[in-house]
């Protein structure tokens, strides 16, 4: 690929990344949502043909784990856990694939040992990169809902972890799952995972 073609592809990628900077739009929620989250993210300027130098959640969605050179190399180095998942326990992320091998969701993990979850050799460490929507692993349910509102979907409780889901400006989904399994624990509960998901239309 010549430099001009690569430059055009790079610019298109940056535009896509900035669109995925994940500003949740709180649709149909009670109350007044907080201010919109950041709409930009830091992206390293040098990009290689084999591995984009940006966050995994920024570039992996929509790529095919068998056909895309960057993902093929990543899957090979990490080891593919099944037909539908690539798990990177030490790196703190998971790639969920559809039947065709396309990445339809990227799951970022907080440190499961620090959260007090049962420890094993498959426990996830905290994802060390920049998180979507300006979130950090120090955030709690209370701080996120104060900033971005209660989302347009909430699930969990009664023994299962709570998840709050937001629509994003590019039509994707941002799902924030908290370690709390009961509503009494929820206000100060830490984030367990953050999922960036393609929608059916994405």
Q: How far apart are CA 63 and CA 74, in angstroms?
A: 12
Q: Determine which helix (DSSP H) or strand (DSSP E) holds 76, and give its type and residue range.
A: helix 69-78
**What is the mean pLDDT of the segment spanning 151-172?**
91
166 strand-pairing partners: 174
Reduce the DSSP state of residue 78 to 3 states and report it: helix
Q: What is the pLDDT of residue 16?
A: 41
Task: Write out the two tokens for 101.
Answer: 């091998």
* Structure confidence at residue 104 as a pLDDT band (50, 70, 90): very high
What is the overall mean pLDDT for the chain? 78
Model pLDDT for residues 41-82, shown as the tens digit of each residue = 332 223 234 556 789 999 999 999 889 888 888 777 776 666
Nearby residues of 48 by Cβ (< 8 Å), 6 or more positions away: none
Task: Write out the two tokens for 59.
Answer: 């570039």
Q: How far apart are CA 94 and CA 102, in angstroms?
A: 13
Q: Find the farthest-apart pair of alpha carbons in the chain and give their distance in angstroms, rounded.
A: 58
Q: What angle do CA 71, 74, 75 make, to 5 degrees?
A: 85
Q: How far apart are CA 47 and CA 50, in angstroms?
A: 9
What separation, in Å, do the N-terminal and C-terminal C-alpha atoms of the chain show?
Answer: 27
Q: What is the pLDDT of residue 59?
A: 93
**What is the mean pLDDT of the segment spanning 158-178?**
92
Q: Whole-model pTM?
A: 0.74
Model pLDDT for residues 20-45, shown as the tens digit of each residue = 455 544 443 444 455 444 433 332 22
More confident residue, 27 or 121: 121
């Amino acid at each position: 690929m010549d430099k001009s073609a690569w430059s055009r592809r790079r610019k298109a990628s940056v535009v896509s990344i900035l669109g995925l900077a994940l500003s949740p739009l709180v649709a149909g929620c009670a109350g007044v949502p907080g201010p919109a989250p950041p709409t930009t993210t830091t992206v390293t300027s040098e990009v290689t043909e084999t591995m984009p130098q940006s966050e995994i959640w920024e570039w992996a969605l929509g790529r095919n784990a068998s056909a895309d050179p960057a993902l093929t190399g990543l899957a090979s180095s990490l080891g593919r856990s099944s037909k539908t998942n690539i798990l990177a326990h030490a790196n703190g992320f998971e790639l969920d694939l559809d039947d065709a091998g396309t990445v339809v969701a990227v799951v970022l993990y907080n440190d499961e040992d620090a959260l007090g979850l049962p420890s094993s050799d498959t426990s996830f460490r905290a994802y060390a990169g920049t998180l979507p929507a300006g979130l950090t692993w120090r955030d709690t349910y209370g701080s996120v809902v104060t900033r971005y509102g209660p989302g347009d979907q909430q699930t969990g409780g009664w023994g299962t972890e709570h998840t709050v889901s937001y629509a994003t400006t590019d039509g994707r989904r941002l799902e924030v799952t908290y370690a709390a399994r009961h509503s009494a624990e929820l206000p100060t509960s830490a984030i367990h995972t953050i999922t960036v998901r393609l929608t059916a239309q994405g």
